[in-house]
Amino acid sequence: MKPILDACCGGKMFHTNKQNPAVLFMDIRAEGPQKLSNGATFSVAPDVIGDFTKMPFRSNTFYMVIFDPPHLRCGNKSFMFKKYGTLGAGWRETLRRGFAECFRVLRPRGTLVFKWSDSFKPLDEVLKLAPIQPVIIHKAISNSQSKRTHFAVFMKL
């Protein structure tokens, strides 16, 4: 098993190496490639199709889990939906179960990296859904809603 899990990889936008052999890429969907208006292509091509609220892995498997869940409310035919997905009306319970699963598959002393844009809900409200507090938080400072992406790092003790 690879040491790192990206639990909802989408288009692997978060990664410097989208083919990193140390990362197991998981998403609930596979799509593409699709041609974008700027001529580039976009696809969602995970190694494993799976739901971050009920992962198909044994407990205590990964040294690091990356959790960058969907968060946008957008039309289901929009490019933003294709790129990031969306959380539905039960988003609190979905994220609570997602955090629980991330910690379940994370090894003791493993690291969870959580990424969140507060264009949908404030980071502080979302972090209340995690079973433990983060060790560090980086809050982006910007007047633009689209550029307020925050990071929180947890360690499973």
pTM for the whole structure: 0.90
pLDDT digits (tens, 9 = 90+) for 3-47: 999 999 998 988 999 999 999 999 999 988 887 777 778 899 999
Which residue is listed with tokens 């844009």? 117
Q: How far apart are CA 34 and CA 46, in angstroms?
A: 15
Q: Which CATH code, of 3.20.19.10, 3.40.50.150, 3.40.630.30, 3.40.50.1820, is assigned to 4-155?
A: 3.40.50.150
List the chain domain ranges. Answer: 4-155
